[in-house]
Amino acid sequence: MIRPAHSNSSIRRLSLFLAGLVLLLSGCATFREMSCEEFREARKETDYTTQYRLLETKSAEAARYYKPLPRNSLAVVRQYKMEVDPPEIRSCNHLEIRKEIYLLRKNDRNLVLEEIREFYTDDGTLIATKSEVVGDQMQASGYYAGNTPLPIPEKAPPGKYRIVSKLVLKRKNSSRTTVLARTSANFQVIARN
């Protein structure tokens, strides 16, 4: 006896999935926006630190494409890019900051890598700065990808904003810093309905 490749329940699930996908792509289905109260509760449990991970395949590709670490350098960044998702957002939501870095560095425990993010209004006014040590996540040369959630508070005025991110190198017990790379991305806060 020959059995069909898919059971009726598998075909039914596939049909429901395809119907949902068609509705979503046609704009008939939308995701419910979080209320400001739900957002306040979600913020209590959200980790706002950047989480970097090493991408081994991209590390190997980048090593073939970019020049190696210069002989007398402690660290260099060959690529540093950032994007935000979504580029337009309402208050009481989280913007996701996505970053990619190709870092070459010496294996030295005294090196400290710090990421500094500055937030500006459209007219160039600095409204916030956040810094975090990320070197413990990037202890070796390689291609890294990272995500950071950014809360857009209820009182954030509608308008255009810019995030500037800098990767800074310093030595432990030293105040001297070197900016290895800089990148930026724009987003817009739109009025809540």
State how far the Cα of 65 lies from the Cα of 140, in Å rounded to an integer.
Answer: 18
What domains can be seen in the chain, in order of their start residue? Answer: 47-190 (2.60.40.2550)
pTM score, whole prediction:
0.80
Place of tokens 């190709």: 102
E strands, 14-125, are: 51-54, 75-85, 88-90, 93-105, 111-121
Residue pLDDT tens, the chain, 193 long: 444 444 444 444 444 444 444 444 444 444 467 899 999 999 999 999 999 999 999 999 999 999 999 999 999 999 999 999 999 999 999 999 999 999 999 999 899 999 999 999 999 999 999 999 999 999 999 999 999 999 999 999 999 999 999 999 999 888 899 999 999 999 999 988 7
State how far the Cα of 135 lies from the Cα of 176, in Å rounded to an integer.
Answer: 16
